Structure 1
Amino acid sequence: MSIQVLRYLVQNKEELIRESANENKLNEDNVWGVAQKIVGQGNLDNLSEKQMYLYENALLPLIENVPCQGWFDEYDGENGTYFDCPSTIENERLLQCYQFDSMLCESCEEEEGFRAARKAAFMRD
Structure 2
Amino acid sequence: MVWKKLLSLFQKAGKQGPRVVISGLKRENNVFRESIQEEADAFLEKASAILGDLEGVTIHVKSSGRGKASKFELHSLLSLKHSTITAKAGGRQLNFVLKNLFDGLMREARKQKSKRDKGKKHRDRMVFEGELEVD
* TM-score, structure 1 normalization: 0.28
* TM-score, structure 2 normalization: 0.27
Which structure's residues are more often strand, by fraction? Answer: 2
Which structure's residues are more often helix, by fraction? Answer: 1
> Whose relative contact order is higher, 1 or 2, with alpha carbons under 8 Å and at least 6 apart?
1
Larger CA Rg, structure 1 vs 2: 2
